[in-house]
Amino acid sequence: MKPNFPDRYSLAHLPTPIEPLARLTRHLGGPELWIKRDDLTGLAGGGNKTRKLEFLVAAAQAQGCDHLITMGAVQSNHCRQTAAAAAKAGMGCSLVLRGEKPVQDSRRNGNLLLDQLLGAHIYWSGEKKPTAVAEAVAANQKKLGRTPAIIPYGGSNVVGATSYVWAMQEAMTQLEQMRLNFDFIVFASSSGGTQSGIVLGAHVYGFRGRVLGISVDSAAESLKTKVASLATATAAHLSLGTVSLADRVEVNADYIEPGYAVLTETEREAIQLTAQMEGILLDPVYTGRAMGGLIDLIRWGAFTRGQKILFWHTGGFPALFAYDAPLTAA
């Protein structure tokens, strides 16, 4: 049975390329590394959220909504892409960012600068729950005669996860055309929507390898439960019936101890190596941590030299500009 995909609002440059990481592979002396470039989806710096927003914007418009509201951290890639999607679709946008407005100039750069350039209205949650602030913003928009839609963190609901089922269809077509097989797909995992979609898509389209999410902030069991539940709900949303994929959800949470958005030598080395070996930019929060974890796993022998690994780049490079000091520290 194949998915019954809902409408999309075209935002992304697709398909994104799959490329070899030949120099990085030789440098590490481990498995053969390739990369799926979802940093090249094209919307205001690109990233995985652009795929999600194609379905999320279409769903909001189908409900008559004209204003998007979402939440995230100060350097949220999801918020930046939501602001861009709203601008392209002619919708208003409000972003609720966690904590207080930053004082340091560097933290006001990166994604936060782009949020402002894209015309988003920015609210700071302070000590309040961002979801509560988002509800208050929505209520105010309704008083102004608008029809808002609240998008969850990372766009990670069944609508957003649908995009990565679609993306797996795209990837499997590419692999067939390129005559490639991979033992693992590896990527950063946080709010769970991307991993849920990839896991479900792997099941639907017959990917025989393993799917490994490297957690950037959640304990392994917590993230596994969230991903498995969302994958099952997404299957129902796509008229695939009852699907249980808990046994296909793999999470490595060995690299979360420093905390969310805290850059350590693991991320710094991964960002520098990937840039200097391949000319590809990773971000400090998600892809830097995921690639750092992958490099560490390769070094201690978690993979064999004969295996092939596809690293799915989920984007986020604008956040680099808010981390200039720690990235360049001696």
The catalytic residues are: 76
Sign of the four-CA dihedral 263, 267, 271, 273: positive
Tokens of 196: 């849920």
Q: What angle do CA 81, 82, 88 make, to 5 degrees?
A: 90
DSSP letter (8 states) at residue 217: S
Residue tagged 């350590």 (tokens):
264
Tokens of 145: 């005669």
Q: How far is CA 171 from the centre of its chain?
A: 16
Alpha helices in the chain (DSSP H): 22-28, 48-62, 77-89, 110-117, 130-143, 158-178, 193-205, 220-237, 265-278, 287-299, 324-328
C-alpha distances out from residue 14 to 78, 89, 142, 316, 330, Å: 18, 18, 35, 17, 39
Q: Give dist(CA 198, CA 162) in Å, integer.
A: 9
CB neighbours (10 Å) of residue 265? 10
